[in-house]
């Protein structure tokens, strides 16, 4: 019977250990939690419980600066007052201007200045590399609506009415500046894509769309 008891122990230990795995809403058991959780802010994850990790921490946090905080807490409460959420991202300081790798200033023409925007010339040359990059970008950001050949027949066009046929007569003569402006701000039924695509990539897509239209 001693053997039987051992067997029983094995069985129950096994069942217990199975509960360590992850699945559904359960992240599973952590092996070394104080090496897992970032003390600095980490994208898309925050530990909002100030007490988290108190049971294993050896660091003594100053009561005046961080009252009641334990090791795992890494939540940014700076946005809580504004939006009622703890968001890691912070608004840029006032009066600062973002510059990209090429040193370009942000595109500041407002949405209704399409005519002025259409006159702007592309800063890129029509090299094979630019066109190849443009193709990849077009496939990522445009194809599912405007279609592989630009005929407005992408898969999403079944659901989203009013997708422009870039090969249609109305769009034959649009300039690269026009395309850049419309990607940035949207036009008609298309919404703004400026937040998703960098200015340089927008010019590349414009070059590729002009090549598609030929």
Partner 1 sequence: MTLDSRFALLAPKTDARPDMTKLNLIAASKLGLLSLLLSLVCSIAVAQDIPTDAASISAGEALFTANCKTCHKVHQKLVGPALADVYNRAPSIDWIKSFIKNSQAVIASGDAYAVKLYNEYNKTQMTAFTSFKDEQIMQLLAYIKAETDKGPEVAAVPVAGAPAAGGDSTGIPSSYLNAIVIGLVLILVLLVVILGFLVSALKRFLDTKELSDDDREQVDSPITLNSIVKSSGFTFIVVFLVGAIGFKALINGLYSIGVQQGYAPKQPIAFSHKIHAGQYEIECKYCHTGVLKGKSATIPSVNICMNCHNQIKEGALYGTAELSKITEAYEKNIPVQWVRIHNLPDLAYFNHAQHVNVGGIECQTCHGPIQEMEVVQQYSLLTMGWCIDCHRKTDVNAKGNAYYDKLVELHNKSSKSAMKVEDIGGLECAKCHY
> Per CB under 8 A, which of residues 46..65 are in contact with partner 1?
none
Q: Which is nearer to partner 1, 2 or 108 (CB)?
A: 2
Does residue number 156 form part of the binding site for partner 1 (CB under 8 A)? yes
Does residue number 135 form part of the binding site for partner 1 (CB under 8 A)? no
Structure-token match 């002009």, residue found: 210
Does residue number 105 form part of the binding site for partner 1 (CB under 8 A)? no
Does residue number 164 form part of the binding site for partner 1 (CB under 8 A)? yes
DSSP secondary structure letters along 57-106: ------TTTSTT--TT-----TTHHHHSS--S--PPPTT-----TT-PPP
Residues in 72-101 at the binding interface with partner 1, rule: CB under 8 A: 83-85, 87
Q: Which of 5, 44, 55, 92 binds partner 1 (CB under 8 A)?
A: 44
Q: Which is nearer to partner 1, 157 or 179 (CB)?
A: 157
Phi then psi for residue 145, to 5 deg, are -105, -55
Task: Count the neighbouring beta carbons within 10 Å of the beta carbon of residue 118.
Answer: 16
Sign of CA dihedral 122, 123, 127, 130: negative
Does residue number 143 form part of the binding site for partner 1 (CB under 8 A)? yes
Torsion, CA 209, CA 210, CA 211, CA 213, rounded to 10: 90
Residues in 167-196 at the binding interface with partner 1, rule: CB under 8 A: 167-173, 188-189, 191-193, 195-196
Q: Which of 36, 58, 62, 65 binds partner 1 (CB under 8 A)?
A: 36
């Amino acid at each position: 019977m001693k053997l039987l008891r051992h067997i029983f122990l094995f069985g129950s230990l096994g069942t217990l250990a199975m509960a360590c795995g992850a699945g559904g809403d359960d992240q599973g058991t952590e092996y070394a939690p104080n090496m897992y959780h970032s003390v600095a802010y980490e994208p898309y994850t925050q530990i909002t419980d100030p007490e988290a990790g108190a049971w294993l921490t050896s660091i003594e946090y100053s009561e005046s600066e961080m009252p009641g905080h334990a090791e795992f807490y890494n939540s940014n409460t700076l946005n809580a007052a504004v939006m009622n959420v703890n968001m890691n991202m912070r608004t840029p300081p006032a009066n600062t201007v973002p510059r990209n790798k090429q040193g370009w200033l942000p595109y500041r023409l407002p949405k209704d200045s399409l005519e002025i925007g259409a006159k702007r010339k592309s800063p890129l040359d029509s090299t094979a590399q630019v066109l190849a990059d443009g193709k990849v970008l077009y496939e990522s950001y445009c194809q599912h609506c405007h279609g592989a050949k630009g005929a407005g027949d992408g898969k999403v066009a079944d659901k989203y009415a009013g997708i422009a046929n870039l090969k249609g007569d109305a769009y034959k003569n649009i300039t690269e500046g026009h395309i850049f402006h419309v990607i940035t701000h949207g036009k008609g039924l298309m919404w703004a894509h400026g937040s998703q695509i960098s200015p340089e990539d927008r010019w590349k897509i414009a070059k590729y769309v002009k090549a598609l239209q030929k």
